A and B are shown apart, each in its own frame.
Chain A
Amino acid sequence: KAGVTQTPRYLIKTRGQQVTLSCSPISGHRSVSWYQQTPGQGLQFLFEYFSETQRNKGNFPGRFSGRQFSNSRSEMNVSTLELGDSALYLCASSLDGGTRTEAFFGQGTRLTVV
Chain B
Amino acid sequence: GNSVTQMEGPVTLSEEAFLTINCTYTATGYPSLFWYVQYPGEGLQLLLKATKADDKGSNKGFEATYRKETTSFHLEKGSVQVSDSAVYFCALSGLTGTASKLTFGTGTRLQVTL
Contacts and interface: CB of A to CB of B under 8 A. Distances in A.
Nearest to A58: B101
Interface string B71-108: 00000000000000000010001111111111111110
Nearest to B46: A102
B100 A103 contact: yes
Interface in A33-54: 33, 35, 42-43, 45, 48, 50
Choose among A58, A99, A104, A105 the residue with the greatest number of B CB atoms under 10 Å from its CB.
A99
B46 A99 contact: no
10 contacts: A4-B43, A33-B101, A42-B105, A45-B103, A100-B32, A102-B49, A103-B102, A104-B46, A106-B43, A108-B43
Interface of B: 31-32, 34, 36, 42-46, 49, 51, 89, 93-107
Contact of B104 (A31, A43, A58, A100): A43
Contact of A97 (B34, B46, B99): B99
Interface string A1-25: 0001010000000000000000000
Given A42-B106, A43-B104, A98 B45 contact: no
A55 interface: yes
A90 interface: yes
A101 B107 CA distance: 22
Contacts of A106: 43
Contacts of B97: 56
Q: How large is the interface on A (under 10, 10 to 19, 20 to 34, 35 or more residues)?
A: 20 to 34
A94 interface: yes
A43 B98 CA distance: 16
A18 B32 CA distance: 36
Given A45-B102, A106-B43, A99 B32 contact: yes
A107 interface: yes
Contacts of A97: 99-100
B101 A99 contact: no
Given A31-B100, A56-B101, A99 B43 contact: no
B95 A48 contact: no
